Structure formats: C-alpha cells, structure tokens
Structure 1
Amino acid sequence: EFEANNTVIYGVSKDSLRVHENFKAKQSFPFELISDPEELVCKHFDVIKLKKNYGKEYMGIERSTFLIDENGVLQQEWRKVRVKDHVDQVLAAVKGE
C-alpha cells in the first residue's frame, strides 16, 4: 500500500550493515535499513534520548517515524512509537486521511 501511494520506507539505527542485513532477513522487511554508527542521522532527527532499563540509564534511540514529502519537507512525525497500529496511522497520513 505504501508503494501504491508513492512512499519509500527506510529504517535507521546505529547497528552495522551486517547486523541490519541479518535483522532484515529475519523479519522479512521489504525496505532498506540505513546504518548510522556515528549517529549523524540520529542526531539530525533528535532521536538520541536518555533511556532507562532495569534502573540503569543510557543514551539510546527513541523509536520515531518521520513522513517527509518528495520535496524533502517534514510533513508529520511520530515520537515514542509503539508498534501496535503504528503502520495504520502512518498509512492514513500518507493517504491524507
């Protein structure tokens, strides 16, 4: 449905290309993953945040989605994304619903 609506999807994380390819194959992702080990893209989109896990604090990526139009203009963003129903929300935005 995204392709039918002229939408290209990319995933970005700090993981290596090798880790990305393994994860992509395991999950059967139909889109590309971008490796950002130096956090250049992550910092540009301000997704590196202080996180807590089992009482320990660390800097990690806040799962986010950005809808950017064909002119490179940010149209919408979702922060602190929860996977459930998120695809439907983004697709509705792509369709202008």
Structure 2
Amino acid sequence: MTVTIGQAVPDCSLPATSDKTISLSDLQGQRVVLYFYPKDATPGCTLESQQFRDLHAEFAAANTVIFGISRDSIKSHEKFKTAQALPFELLSDSDEALCTLFDVIKLKNMYGKQVRGIERSTFLIDENGVLRQEWRKLKADGHASIVLAAVAALG
C-alpha cells in the first residue's frame, strides 16, 4: 500500500537520532515534512539538509516539524547530523517500511548499473495526519524554500 494525497498517513515508528523513536501518531497537531534522501554526506543530500536547517526556525514558527529519512544507519545519521549542525532528527529506514509506504525506492542508473535507491522526494502532512502535498524527482537546491511556501499556503 502506498499513501496518496488527501489520504491519512498510516502510523509507523522509526528509530531516530538523539536516541529517539519517532511515531507519526505522536505528531498529531503539528505539520510534518518528511524529506527522503539517498545517502548521508553526499553533495546533494548535504545541500538539501543544510537548506532545511537554514529555514528550520521558519518551519518551527509555522508549527511544522522536519525529518530527514534515508536507509543509512543511526550511527551514520548521528555523524551527518553533527557535521551539518542539523536542528531536526534524522530517521533510519533500514527495512524500507516508510520508503515503501511513500513509494520512493526506485531503480536508478549508477555508473552504468541498475541499483535500487531512494528517489529524492518530500511529503507534507497536515495537523490531522493527512498527506497534503508531495514532491518527487526533485532537485536539492532551493527545494526547502518551495516546501516552506507550501506550508505557509496551508494557512
């Protein structure tokens, strides 16, 4: 099953940085931005994470929490979070449960080989747990600003 716009997002829990477990059901009453990225500490993923970091205060002012998600381990996430001074948690989806729910695992060409990986994608969930907007196959640079504008448009 994959979630579609206008649908409630099913609850799930994932291990997160800062020794936490994040459950979507615990976030009721807040807007949630889930940004899926291929790999910690790679150029595009670093740029995207830095831009979400730089706009974090504006997202927080709009009652919106941000989570970065990849299949990397918590150990890798902690290192990346510290190196980039990220003020939000990173979730480890090593078993691909959330990746599958949001249908972000795609076959990609890397150095002439087909590999399964995360297609850079972002999802905006409203205060009631309903998926309101999605961005797929996006470019990292400038994307956080587009998401912030969509959050503001929710009112």
Tell me the TM-score normalised to structure 2 length.
0.61
**In the alignment, structure 1 residue 3 sits paired with structure 2 residue 66:** no
**In the alignment, structure 1 residue 26 sits paired with structure 2 residue 45:** no
Alpha-carbon RMSD across the aligned residues, in angstroms, is 1.0
**In the alignment, structure 1 residue 69 sits paired with structure 2 residue 126:** yes
Counterpart residue type for residue 76 of structure 1: Q
The residue number in structure 2 matching 1:93 is 150
CA distance in 2, matches of 1:81, 1:29: 21
CA distance in 2, matches of 1:52, 1:20: 24
Tell me the TM-score normalised to structure 1 length.
0.96
Task: Extract structure 1 runs of 4+ deviating beyond 4 A.
Answer: none
Q: Secondary structure at the match of 2:75?
A: helix
**RCO comparison, higher one (Cα < 8 Å, 6+):** 2
1:50-96 deviation digits (Å, cap 9, x = unpaired)? 00011111100001100000111010000012111101100000000
CA distance in 1, matches of 2:141, 2:135: 13
The residue number in structure 2 matching 1:52 is 109
CA distance in 2, matches of 1:36, 1:93: 25
CA distance in 1, matches of 2:82, 2:121: 22
CA distance in 2, matches of 1:83, 1:28: 18
Q: Secondary structure at the match of 2:100?
A: helix
Q: Secondary structure at the match of 2:139?
A: coil
Q: Secondary structure at the match of 2:64?
A: coil
CA distance in 2, matches of 1:70, 1:31: 18
Q: Secondary structure at the match of 1:9?
A: strand
Equivalent residue pairs, number: 97
Identity among equivalent positions (%) equals 62
